Structures are given as C-alpha cells and as structure tokens.
Amino acid sequence: MTEMGGTPIPHAPGFVANDTPRIVTARFDYEDSHTLERYEATGGYRGLRKALERTPEEVQTQVRDATLLGRGGAGFPAGVKWGFCPPGVWPRYLVVNGDESEPGTYKDRLLMELDPHQLIEGCLIACYAVGLSQCFLYIRGEMAVAQERVARALNDAYSAGYIGKNILDTEFSVDIILHWGAGAYVVGEETALIESLEGNRGMPRLKPPYFPASIGLYGQPTIVNNVETLSNLPWILEHGVEAFTGIGTESSPGTRMVAVSGHVQRPGVYEIVNGTTTFRDLLYSKEMCGGIRDDNQLKAFVPGGGSAPWFTADQLDLPFEASQVGPQGSMLGSGAIMVMDETTDIPAAALTLTKFYAHESCGKCVPCREGGTWLEQILRRVVDGRGTPRDLELLIEVGETICPGDFPHAAIPSKGIEAVPFPYRMTTICFVGPSAFAPIHSALTLFREEFEAKVAGNENRTMIEVAVDVR
Amino acid sequence: MKFFSEENLELADVIISRYPKPRSAMIPLLHLAQEQVGWVTDDAMAEIAELVGTTSAEVLGTCSFYEMFKRHQVGTYVINICATMSCALMGAEELMEHAERRLGVKAGGTTADGMFTIEGAECQAACTEAPCLQVNYRHRYRVTPDEFDSIIDELSSTDHNVPDHGVLSQIRQHIPEDRFVGAVPPGDVASAPVWMHDEGVD
Ligand SMILES: Cc1cc2nc3c(=O)[nH]c(=O)nc-3n(C[C@H](O)[C@H](O)[C@H](O)COP(=O)(O)O)c2cc1C
Ligand code: SF4
Ligand code: FES
C-alpha cells in the first residue's frame, strides 16, 4: 500500500466469524478481500449485472420488498425512502454516509476497508434503480486506511468498466466521487452531511422536509444511505428477495453487523441474524462474546450506540427487533453495544458520553449548545465529588429543556418501575442534544444510589447554580 | 503569495471539476493544503477562496468547524488518544496519563522538537479494540503503556511508514478521461437520466 519500508499499517481487526449466515461479511476471511480480483472471483458485480437486466423500477420494487432497514441509526426501510424522490425533478444524487462516529459503532469502517467493492456495487445498484446521476462517497476524515482502500477499489472498478460512462456497455452511466470529512460527529446527520458536502460548516438543516429525498444536495432530490445498508444490495440482487427475507423476521429481515465493546470476554464485530438474535445470545453465547469478563456480573449495557438509553440484565432477552426494543425504552440505533460490568463507576461512565455529545454540538440550537455544556459541567462535579444533592435535580431540569416530558427508560422490575417507551420529545433540530442527556437520564434512573453516594456529605456545599457564565 | 505547488494546483483543478459546484471542493482542498505543509495557513485559505469562488472568511468559516484542520503548526505525528466510553472502560485515562508523562506535554501540546502532538480524541470506530489511538489517523489497537512507548520509539526511528501529519489517503482517486461522465450540476439537467427513459419515467 505504501512504497516505503517499515511495518505495514494493518487493516481493521475485530471481526469475529461465527456460523450465522453471512451476507455482508462473507469475504472477510480472505486476506485479499478488498481486491477486485478476489471480489470478481467470489461473485462480485453479479448483483449489478442482474440489476442491469431488469428495469430500474423492478429493482426498486425488489429492494422495497426486501424490507432492507437502514443500518445508519434510524432503521428506515431503504426501498420506501427511495420512493420519496419527487417525480419529474432531476438530477437526483446519492450521498453515501461513511461518517461512522457514533460512540461504540464499528462496522462501516470494516466494510470499507475489507470489502470496498461490495459497497461500490451497492452504490451502483442504488443509482441505477432510482435514477441518481452522481454519487458522492463521504468517508469519515479520520479513516486514512478506509480512504486508501476505497480509492484503490474505485480506481480498479473504473478501469474495469464498472463505474463511469456506459457501465458494462449499457446506457447506465454514473460517476462515484470519493470525498472525505474533517472531523465532526454531527456531520453524520444526513442534512449536515449534505451541508458539509456543499462546502459549509456541518450543521443540520431545519426540518421539515424530513428527508433529503425531497430537498437535498443543492436543493435536489438526494438519497442518503449508510455504508452497511448499501453493502446489502449486491447480495439481495444476486440471491433474490426471498433468500433475504428468509433470514431474520418479517419486520427485520436479513442480518446486521453489531459491535460489542467494553467488559465482555470477547469484544468484537459480529454479523448476527436480525430480528431473532437476543442480547443474551450475543453477550453470553460461547460462539459470540462468551459472557462478561472475569465472570463478573453485568451491570448495564448501551444497546444501540451512545445515544441510546441503557438496558440492564432485565432486558437481555429482547431480540434485535425495533418494535420490541422501542416499547422497552431504548433503540437499536447503529448496532453498538457497550457493556459495563459490576466494577463500573456508573456516573463516570455516563460522563464519557455526555462529554462527547456536549463537545459535538454544532451550536445551532440553544438547548443543545448551552444545555449540553451545563450537563457536562454539573455531571463532572458530581463525579469529582464536588456536587450537591441539588445537582442531581438540576441535571434532570436541564435535560428537560432539551427533552420535555417523560424520557424513555428501561423497566426495573425489582423496584416496580415500568418502562417509558421510545421515542422522546425534543426541542432541538437533531439528536445530538437529547443524546447528551440520554446517558445521564439512564444512569440516574437505574443507578441513583451511585449518584447519591457521590454527593453525600455535600448537602451544605454552596452550589454553583449557573454552570456557564451567561451574563 | 501563491500557496499551492504547481502539482497540487493542477490536482486542485481536477478535484473541483468533479463537483457540480466548485464550493463542494472546499474540504478536499483544505485537506490538500494541510497535506502540503502539515497545517492550514492563511495563504492557503485565501487561495482556496479564489479557486472555489468565495471569500477567505467563508473558507475560514468552514475550516474552523472541523477538528482535523489545524490553523497552527502541529507535530509531525499527531497522536489522538480515544477517551469515549468503550476506551474509557478499558483504560483510556491511564493511557493518556502515561502518554503525557512519556512525552512531557499535556493533551493538546506538542513536544519541543516538533515531533509529537497528543490530543484527547473521540470514538474512532475501533471500540472493540480498546483502548486505541491513532497516529496521523492510522489506528493502533489495544494499546498498553508499554506499547505506547514502542510506538514512540518506532516513530522516532526511520523504520515505519506513517506519513507526516496532513497526509491521509496515499492513493488518490483517478478517473480515466474516457470513463468520466462529468459533474452533473442542478439546472443542467431537466429530464431523467437516459437509462430511466426506457420505461417512460419522466
Ligand atoms: C447526530 C447524528 C449522527 C449520525 N451519524 C451517522 C453516521 O455516522 N453514519 C450513518 O450512516 N448515519 C448516521 N446518522 C443517521 C443519518 O442521519 C441517516 O439517517 C442515515 O445515514 C441514513 O442511512 P440509512 O437509511 O441507510 O440508515 C446520524 C444521525 C444523527 C442524528
Ligand atoms: S441538536 Fe445540537 S448538534 Fe443538532 S442541530 Fe441542534 S445544536 Fe446542532
Ligand atoms: S470508544 Fe474508543 S474507539 Fe470507540
């Protein structure tokens, strides 16, 4: 990859194979999985050829029938979203969301480093089906190796006639332009991604419109899809809708990639069957994470990326199925599970997430910009032992300026507390603001005693009501 | 006054030609500037403004939003130590303390010889391999304090292939001229692309 000597820069480790069906990680076992030679030798670009034998409309219908849920966080079906492009408005664009930066999330980078051609083929199928005139593949700035692997794959695919003018000698012509970001979590939000691609500060746009499919890049209809979502398309086209819906459940078919990190025996990235696999299967089975490290007890886990309300052992039997996880107070999000064992300092763990979201606020909405900073500062003094009991109320009060009303949380059967279902109400444009509050709310609701222990004895301490000088 | 080298200026034109609007090339050109000298200078921003048809203030506005763009000299090797949840659960704080001791600078600082800058960073999409860090945006996984020391030794020698700060992908996208469809700006096209016409989609 480079001409210089020295130790080669290794590609991403972490993937753990098991005997579940493998749709998007099927090639990961090959050392040269990222090359065009390997891709072609293992069925590569066959899905595209099949697509080109059909009309664009037929391909769209297939993807809609497959119920391919978006893997970027919101879980919206790709085929339905594609249908939101207003008829008669051209050109339309595709923006690939490879900005992966939600805390705990680790899968898109693997897909880009280990199987870039699969992603490219997916982009081409989407462009053909929806009539998208140009594709921008937006990779997170801090992923130099992924950028290199995708650049090389694009160069090889252009030379081989898979991208550009008259693809595979048909009328279908589209460019894929490689683009990368420069470090800003919020740019993963699709309208911020578009702003960034237009050369602007990456701030989310006001909604409505809710989908850039109606008004997106340069005001034109724009499909934004996640890397993993698009990486499923070649398989669906090659093997057919029934093969895909035959895996998983009717409402959550296929597989999905999940990253399990933190205090498990075997942290790793797993491709699991969607809809049926439970958190217990994932965290405790020998084939997967093998239980909690050192045979410790599980204290809590974040089930769907840093933005998601937390679960405890009481929710382990829930499957990866949005319609079951939502009513229990959380979300599946980006497939990131972060596990905390009994040794974890819960308020300190929550702080690592709140700090993240406070830092990543783009500043457009006051409740997020000010509230996130307040939450971080108040929680920090609680963690440092400088907080007062009143601070615990203040955390909730500040949180309520971002998310008014009941905030979702898991049930605690031993205390007779029932779950508050997802989603929440919010005063902000995007989910960064609420995400600064989510870890605090979960931690305080589920483990209040740990916070009380931190502020005990500080009852008479003078409290600093205003964390930020706003005069 | 001119900032970009001849070679990079040619490259800048190629990059701009790929986008429907020149301004979309702003971030790629800022990266190119940073690749050339390791950080983004005022001269670079002025020239980028000219190239994409906007003002220096607009370029500064975009540039200053993004963490990776440095508007001052940083070390040859920028070491980002992840501090987000999964890494924090696995010892990121100890790793940072060790790094600060070993290099004799605090997070955000650069060693006196200009070799190393250390920064506290956020989730690097390597959470299963915690704690992790990046050197010039190349990952190192499950880094112990001892391993941190050997990374520093390695980077201090010539026996490594981490390029200087500012260089991201060492492979550039190349689009053969005879295969390039060309940028599709809004307004230039009012009908469906040709492969959609067959089925009478408007
Ligand atoms: C703050 C924020 C950050 C996001 N980050 C990402 C991201 O890094 N990658 C991603 O694919 N989607 C991310 N999303 C979701 C996108 O807005 C969008 O829903 C998704 O890319 C659509 O693709 P899909 O339908 O294929 O999942 C983020 C959303 C929010 C609100
Ligand atoms: S919620 Fe926060 S990050 Fe999102 S748009 Fe508002 S200020 Fe920006
Ligand atoms: S939390 Fe450190 S890489 Fe994700």
Identify whether residues A184 and A41 lie together within a single domain.
yes
pLDDT band at A9 (very low <50, low <70, confident <90, very high): low
pLDDT band at A470 (very low <50, low <70, confident <90, very high): very low
A352 touches chain B (CB under 8 A): yes
Tokens 């931190």: give the residue.
A454
Identify whether residues A333 and A358 lie together within a single domain.
no
Identify whether residues A325 and A367 lie together within a single domain.
no
- Is A282 domain-assigned? yes
Average pLDDT over residues B20-39: 98
| Whole-number average pLDDT of chain A | 95
Last residue of some domain: A202, A226, A245? A245
Domain total of chain A: 3
Identify whether residues A69 and A192 lie together within a single domain.
yes
C-beta atoms of B89 and A340 within 8 A: yes
Q: How confident is the model over A280-325, as pLDDT tens digits? A: 999 999 999 999 999 999 999 999 999 999 999 999 999 999 999 9
Residue predicted with more confidence, B90 or B202? B90
A268 touches chain B (CB under 8 A): yes
Last residue of some domain: A194, A223, A245? A245
- Is A94 domain-assigned? yes
Between the alpha carbon of residue B73 and those of residues A116, B2, B69, B77, B117, the distances in Å are 34, 19, 11, 11, 10
Identify whether residues A197 and A63 lie together within a single domain.
yes
- Nearest by CB to B159, which of A6, A9, A103? A6
Identify whether residues A284 and A147 lie together within a single domain.
no
Q: What's the full length of chain A, in residues?
A: 471
Nearest CA to ligand 2 atom 4: A430
pLDDT score for A464: 62
Identify whether residues A213 and A84 lie together within a single domain.
yes
pLDDT at B71 over 60: yes
pLDDT score for A4: 40
Identify whether residues A351 and A386 lie together within a single domain.
yes
Buried-exposed string A28-64: b where 16+ CB fall within 10 A, e elsewhere: beeeebbbbebbeeeebbbbbebbbeebbbebbbbbb
**Taking a contact as any Cβ pair under 8 Å apart, which residues of chain A between 183 and 202 contact chain B?**
183-185, 196-202
Last residue of some domain: A226, A245, A264? A245
- Is A222 domain-assigned? yes
Query: What tokens were used for A257?
Result: 């990639």
- Is A24 domain-assigned? no
The pocket around ligand 2, CB under 6 angstroms, is made up of: A 186, 203-204, 361-365, 368-369, 428-430, 432-433
C-beta atoms of B124 and A142 within 8 A: yes
Which domain CATH number covers A62? 3.40.50.11540
Q: Could you say which of 1.10.760.10, 3.65.10.10, 1.10.10.1590, 1.10.340.30 is the CATH number of the domain covering B6-71?
A: 1.10.10.1590
Q: How far is the CA of A105 from the centre of ligand 1 (A)?
A: 11
pLDDT at A446 over 80: yes
Q: How confident is the model over A57-73, as pLDDT tens digits? A: 999 999 999 999 999 99
Query: What tokens were used for A219?
Result: 């005001």
Sheet holding A92-98, edge to edge: A175-180, A132-139, A92-98, A222-226
DSSP per-residue string spanning A419-434: PB-S----SSSSSHHH
Q: How far is the CA of A104 from the centre of ligand 3 (A)?
A: 6
Contacts of A42 (CB under 8 A, 6+ apart): A26, A27, A30
Of all residues in chain A, the percent with pLDDT exceeding 90 is: 93
pLDDT band at B1 (very low <50, low <70, confident <90, very high): low
Q: Are A68 and A230 in contact (CB under 8 A)?
A: no
Identify whether residues A43 and A91 lie together within a single domain.
yes
- Is A14 domain-assigned? no
Average pLDDT over residues A439-454: 98
Q: How confident is the model over A10-52, as pLDDT tens digits? A: 567 899 998 889 999 999 999 999 999 999 999 999 999 999 9
Q: How far apart are CA A93 and CA A81, in angstroms?
A: 13
Between the alpha carbon of residue A396 and those of residues A97, A445, A457, B57, B89, the distances in Å are 33, 10, 21, 40, 25
pLDDT band at A253 (very low <50, low <70, confident <90, very high): very high
Of the candidate ranges A388-392, A412-416, B14-18, the one whose mean pLDDT is the lowest: A412-416
Identify whether residues A329 and A357 lie together within a single domain.
no
CA B83 from chain centre, in angstroms, equals: 20
Q: How far is the CA of A229 from the centre of ligand 1 (A)?
A: 11
Identify whether residues A113 and A211 lie together within a single domain.
yes
Q: Which domain holds residue A417?
A: 346-468
CA dihedral A406, A410, A412, A418 (to 10 degrees): 50
Which domain CATH number covers A295? 3.10.20.600
- CATH no. for B77-156: 3.40.30.10
Q: How many CB atoms lie within 10 A of CB B22?
A: 17
Identify whether residues A146 and A202 lie together within a single domain.
yes
pLDDT score for B197: 75
What A384-390 contacts at long range (C-beta under 8 Å, 24+ apart), as own/partner pairs, is A385/A454, A385/A458, A386/A458, A386/A461, A387/A454, A387/A455, A387/A458, A388/A455, A388/A458, A388/A459, A388/A461, A388/A463, A389/A452, A389/A455, A389/A458, A389/A459, A390/A463
Average pLDDT over residues A184-188: 98
Residues of B in contact with A155 (CB under 8 A): 171, 173-174
pLDDT score for A468: 53
- Is A380 domain-assigned? yes
Of all residues in chain A, the percent with pLDDT exceeding 70 is: 96
Which 8-state DSSP code applies to residue B189? Answer: B
What is this structure's pTM?
0.96
Please name which of A244, A233, A206 lies closest in space to residue A94, comparing C-alpha atoms. Answer: A233
Residue extents of the structural domains in chain B:
6-71, 77-156
Which 8-state DSSP code applies to residue A443? Answer: H
This complex has an ipTM of: 0.97
CA atoms within 13 A on the CB side of B3: 23
Instruction: State which of A261, A269, A356, A360 you would mutate to test the pocket of ligand 3, scoring each by most atoms of that ligand within 8 A of its C-beta.
Output: A261
pLDDT band at A6 (very low <50, low <70, confident <90, very high): very low
Q: How confident is the model over A99-145, as pLDDT tens digits? A: 999 999 999 999 999 999 999 999 999 999 999 999 999 999 999 99
Average pLDDT over residues B80-102: 98
Provide the pairing of β-strand B133-135 with B138-140. Answer: antiparallel
Residue A129: helix, strand or coil by DSSP?
Answer: helix
Query: What tokens were used for B1?
Result: 């006054």
Average pLDDT over residues A425-442: 98
Provide the pairing of β-strand A268-273 with A255-262. Answer: antiparallel
Q: Are A108 and A226 in contact (CB under 8 A)?
A: yes
Q: How far apart are CA A285 and CA B121, in angstroms?
A: 33
pLDDT band at A445 (very low <50, low <70, confident <90, very high): very high
